[in-house]
Structure 1
Amino acid sequence: MSGFKRVLIILLSAGIVLTLAAGGGFLWVYSGAKVSTAGRGGFRNELAVPPLARSTVGPDGTRVFDLRMQAGETEFTAGRRTPTWGFNGSYLGPTLRAARGEKVRVRVRNALGEASTVHWHGMRLPARMDGGPHQMVAPGATWSPQWKVDQPAATLWYHPHPHGETEDHVQRGLAGMFILDDAKSLGLGLPDTYGVNDLPLIVQDVKFDGARFDHGHGLLQTTGFLGDRTMVNGTLDPYRVVGDDLVRLRLLNASTARTYDFGFDDNRAFSLIATDGGLLEKAASMDRIQLSPGERAEIVVRVRPGERTVLRSYPLSIGQDFYNQRFNGGDDSFDILELRARERLRHSSALPVTLGKPEIPDGSQAARTRFFDLKVSGINGRRMSMGRVDATVARGTTEVWTVRNTNGIPHNFHVHGVQSRILSVNGRAPRPALRGAKDTVFVPDRTTVVLAMRFDGPADPNSPYMYHCHLLAHEDQGMMGQFVVVGKGRRAGRPSAVHAHQGH
């Protein structure tokens, strides 16, 4: 055999070995990317329930809350202290609660070492009170937004929104619920005793590096950070003892990238009663509810005396290819919370036949249509620019927005300051879980969603609202735009890059 042939055989053999090794390595990484805590038990920590925030009512009837952004340490596991951020505490924040028609003011003090914001996610309010990236609160400063609550009862939330840093600030622990009530919802006989038969559930996925949080992104993950376990209200491995036969769960996906498909371990049916922006017209029976980051749902589940049932997140069926399905969490499953029913339960009234009529337009009176193409590289091909207004909307008008994702990876779409009606998903009527008022909607690959929304916020040509992907790593990379609401016939102003609040 000639020397050339011998060298050629050696090189070919080496190539085959490297190819097999690479293939074997990929298979090892692929098989190890699936995460599951389902069926493992170990519910040993009683679920913490965020306290209701204290408030005062001034002479003019304004309800005033105080929030302090602060750093601290939290023992998620006994003896192991994790550096965290929180509102009025070391992790997460209290639940703010107000009623329709009330004027509210929130005094937000920043005791952190860096600037941040507080965005009122799902709230209809003036753009300059919205807490987006233009309303930065400097270290040591206080910001006091105020507005009148003018929307139906709903489960909203609050979280930071600094441009380019939102994922990090939320992961550290800055988040909380904001519950709105109205006379109609309180008169329906729904489970409504906070922390008893009406439970707030702030669901997050986390990963620990020793005692500290690990916030790193996997090399093959395109959605952002994905943890290997979940917490509810900052509680690992939680259980909750319940004493009513009907329990209302206010589900909030406060994770930064993970989408959950919630159901129970025995596949029992539950009733969906509300989506992001409030009550449905009628309760919808189902055994799964899918929530992407930022979305909320209120469900009512029936329990029997003495039983235990587990709220679980199941693998997703969203039509992703095998690569994105596995490395972006689609094959993962988690046991979220165990409900433990007492041996004797209080009887609850049956759910009413009708709940409420969502206050969202049907799109028939739309003044104009717009199109939004979602890509990590930017929306409609443009990355976020703080000084650029991407859309100008006439106050009091309805618009229809078509949102499309052909990016090959999952996205979702959140619009500030409004609630939307989903008119269609890929040309078909939305399923029951998507028929209520929505401010955040999941848009997986090869999906087109058509939304109708009415812009009733006050005209302000210089203060923009945001629209963006709420997979927060994508938002931070520039997958965001901004619009202003103006009087009819008026033009947009020119927002400054940063509005830092240095004083009270």
Structure 2
Amino acid sequence: MKRRSLLSLAVLGPLLSGCSSADEQPLTFANRLHIPPLAPSEIDPDGFRSFALSLQPGKNGTWGINGDHLGPTVRAKRGERVRMAVTNRLPEATTLHWHGMRLPARMDGGPHQSIEPGATWTPQWTVDQPAATTWFHPHPHGKTAMHVYRGLAGLFLLDEPGGPALPSDYGADDIPLIVQDKILDDGRLVTGPVGNGTFGLLGDTIMINGTIDPYVEVTTTQVRFRLLNASNTRVYRIGFADNRTFQVVGGDAGLLREPAPADRVKISPGERIEIVAAFSPGETVVLNSIGENRRDANDPEEDDFELLKVVAAAVLKPSKPLPQTLGGPAPVIPPPGARVRRFTLSGSEINGRDMDMNRIDEVVPAGAVEIWEIDNTTYAHNFHIHEVAFTILDINGERPPAYLAGPKDTVFLKKHADVRLAVRFGRHTDPVTPYMYHCHLLRHEDKGMMGQFVIVDPGTEHLVPRTIPTGHHHHG
């Protein structure tokens, strides 16, 4: 097992000095796992739950949100109105996209909602979707990979009153795990040209919540881990070193209908998976990632990593039994005659075209349920659709594994794979402000592997211009 941890960027400063290359030292699990703090909020005079997020330079090459690296965890309940004051204190323009959130296109934080240095962007919307682990990250066209790599990312947890009795004590038995890979040189984050021409950055140092070499102490018999792959390119196959079975309870866009047992789960950039694992008093076990062993150093699924040591206390508090049903959203079922759209993925193009900020590629009627067929003709990609939740109908003609049966917004496609998705679109209409669909391997996205769609009132699709009006791009 390769060493993939060195220091804690969550602590920063002295620990960054004196670190060496990833393979020179045995893994020691020397640093306590950093738990991102919950973002403070207040109810403003208009009745919105208001948050303030500052995108700012950190230390040793990192960027952060309200800190040196990564961001706080934002939390809100279904039905709440939220307002975000997002201030850009970076030396260049950026955006902040709410990945997995269903909201008006003008609030989405995609490449059209640019925030200039020194400006504050204040989106607001009503949370109207099931409980889920969503997240936020920059989305500036052509620069997303570097902004995320530097550390601009955080979790946005959505709660729903009356949900199932899952572990929910944040940071104790409900633990976020934000997984990223980095390249370090003499204690600094390498931010110059990095990565290869096919996939971009494949770092040799793994960080969990900004911590390298992490361990976590648990005090209950069951623990919920919320996994987010916030890496630029790497795909992880995550499980425990002893191959114990755990229960998958949630995916990108919400809870499953019922727990799905697994001993390893694949998670590509942008995807989230919630698992519940059981522990015995006094035991120690390592969470790891096992590569596909194709002996290709440039493959995003290659390489083995030790991620996190879990240390169980000598005495554990009994957890409530895991519910047999979770009440997650029902699968999306396309109606007879549903519209079918086909998307062919090549090197860095979708349907033979690069991203054009001024071009509308697809026009979708509000509330539609469609079938999207994704055909990958080249090496590994994945596919993310803004604003929606979808059900994976099949992968290469076969039903997906049970842990992928829940609501999704991002799906991985191996080399030459094809998938069919049943996609449910929302009812936020705007004929001139698009949402995105794209590969979430961020080098591919930055190189132009992205398209745009608008949602409009049913029956008006033919009236929508396929060119965005000049000057319509939104700026903070």
Q: What is the TM-score of this pair, normalised by structure 1?
A: 0.87
Deviations 1:7-27 (A, max 9, x none): xxxxxxxxxxxxxxxxxxxxx
State how far apart, in whole Å, the 1-side matches of 2:22 and 2:301 are.
11
State how far apart, in whole Å, the 1-side matches of 2:396 and 2:41 are.
45
RMSD: 1.8
Q: In structure 1, what is the equivalent of residue 464 of structure 2?
A: 492
User: Of 118, 123, 126, which aligns to 2:104?
Assistant: 126
Q: Secondary structure at the match of 1:474?
A: helix
Q: In structure 1, what is the equivalent of residue 277 of structure 2?
A: 301
Q: In structure 1, what is the equivalent of residue 475 of structure 2?
A: 501
Q: In structure 2, what is the equivalent of residue 467 of structure 1?
A: 437
Alignment of 1:112-261 (within 5 A): 112-185=90-163, 188-215=164-191, 216-219=193-196, 222-261=198-237
State how far apart, in whole Å, the 1-side matches of 2:319 and 2:368 are.
42
Q: In structure 2, what is the equivalent of residue 286 of structure 1?
A: 262
User: Of 314, 332, 335, which aligns to 1:361?
Assistant: 332
State how far apart, in whole Å, the 2-side matches of 1:217 and 1:492 are.
41
Alignment of 1:289-438 (within 5 A): 289-316=265-292, 322=294, 325-365=296-336, 367-407=338-378, 409-438=379-408
Q: In structure 1, what is the equivalent of residue 57 of structure 2?
A: 71
Q: Which residue identity lines up with residue 100 of structure 1 in the other structure?
A: R
In the alignment, is residue 457 of structure 1 matched against residue 457 of structure 2? no
Q: In structure 2, what is the equivalent of residue 22 of structure 1?
A: none
Change in CA separation of 1:443 and 1:92 when aligned onto 2, cut-off 3 Å: same
Alignment of 1:17-28 (within 5 A): none
In the alignment, is residue 108 of structure 1 matched against residue 86 of structure 2? yes
- Superposition deviation, residue 402 in structure 1: 0.1
Q: Which residue identity lines up with residue 53 of structure 2 in the other structure?
A: L
Change in CA separation of 1:272 and 1:62 when aligned onto 2, cut-off 3 Å: same
Q: Runs of 4+ in structure 1 displaced over 6 angstroms? A: 35-39
Change in CA separation of 1:366 and 1:247 when aligned onto 2, cut-off 3 Å: farther
State how far apart, in whole Å, the 2-side matches of 1:174 and 1:375 are.
28
- Superposition deviation, residue 365 in structure 1: 4.7
Q: In structure 2, what is the equivalent of residue 18 of structure 1?
A: none
State how far apart, in whole Å, the 2-side matches of 1:39 and 1:498 are.
53
- Superposition deviation, residue 357 in structure 1: 3.3
Q: Which residue identity lines up with residue 427 of structure 2 in the other structure?
A: G
- Superposition deviation, residue 406 in structure 1: 1.5
Q: Which residue identity lines up with residue 115 of structure 1 in the other structure?
A: A
**Greater radius of gyration (CA):** 1
Q: Which residue identity lines up with residue 301 of structure 1 in the other structure?
A: A
Q: Which has the higher helix share?
A: 1
Deviations 1:235-287 (A, max 9, x none): 01000111001010000000000000000011111100000011101101110
Q: Secondary structure at the match of 2:475?
A: coil
Change in CA separation of 1:497 and 1:212 when aligned onto 2, cut-off 3 Å: farther
For the 8 Å contact 2:257–2:330, the answer to whether it is kept is no
For the 8 Å contact 1:260–1:316, the answer to whether it is kept is no
Q: Secondary structure at the match of 1:97?
A: strand
Deviations 1:448-487 (A, max 9, x none): 1000112123110000000000000000000000000011
Q: In structure 1, what is the equivalent of residue 251 of structure 2?
A: 275
Q: Which residue identity lines up with residue 65 of structure 1 in the other structure?
A: F
- Superposition deviation, residue 207 in structure 1: 1.1
State how far apart, in whole Å, the 1-side matches of 2:242 and 2:357 are.
48
Q: Which residue identity lines up with residue 398 of structure 1 in the other structure?
A: V
Deviations 1:36-65 (A, max 9, x none): 979943100000000000001124431111
State how far apart, in whole Å, the 2-side matches of 1:265 and 1:36 are.
20
Give ranges in structure 2 of 5+ residues lacking alignment: 1-20
| Identity %, equivalent residues | 51
Change in CA separation of 1:39 and 1:172 when aligned onto 2, cut-off 3 Å: closer
State how far apart, in whole Å, the 1-side matches of 2:39 and 2:357 are.
33
User: Of 90, 93, 110, which aligns to 2:71?
Assistant: 93
Q: How many pairs are equivalent? A: 451
Q: What is the TM-score of this pair, normalised by structure 2?
A: 0.92
State how far apart, in whole Å, the 2-side matches of 1:179 and 1:471 are.
23
Q: Which residue identity lines up with residue 317 of structure 2 in the other structure?
A: R
For the 8 Å contact 1:243–1:344, the answer to whether it is kept is yes
For the 8 Å contact 1:400–1:451, the answer to whether it is kept is yes
Q: Secondary structure at the match of 1:256?
A: coil
State how far apart, in whole Å, the 2-side matches of 1:123 and 1:420 are.
13
Q: Which residue identity lines up with residue 47 of structure 1 in the other structure?
A: L
State how far apart, in whole Å, the 2-side matches of 1:284 and 1:72 are.
40
Q: In structure 2, what is the equivalent of residue 51 of structure 1?
A: 37
For the 8 Å contact 1:155–1:180, the answer to whether it is kept is yes
State how far apart, in whole Å, the 2-side matches of 1:160 and 1:481 are.
17
State how far apart, in whole Å, the 2-side matches of 1:67 and 1:414 are.
24
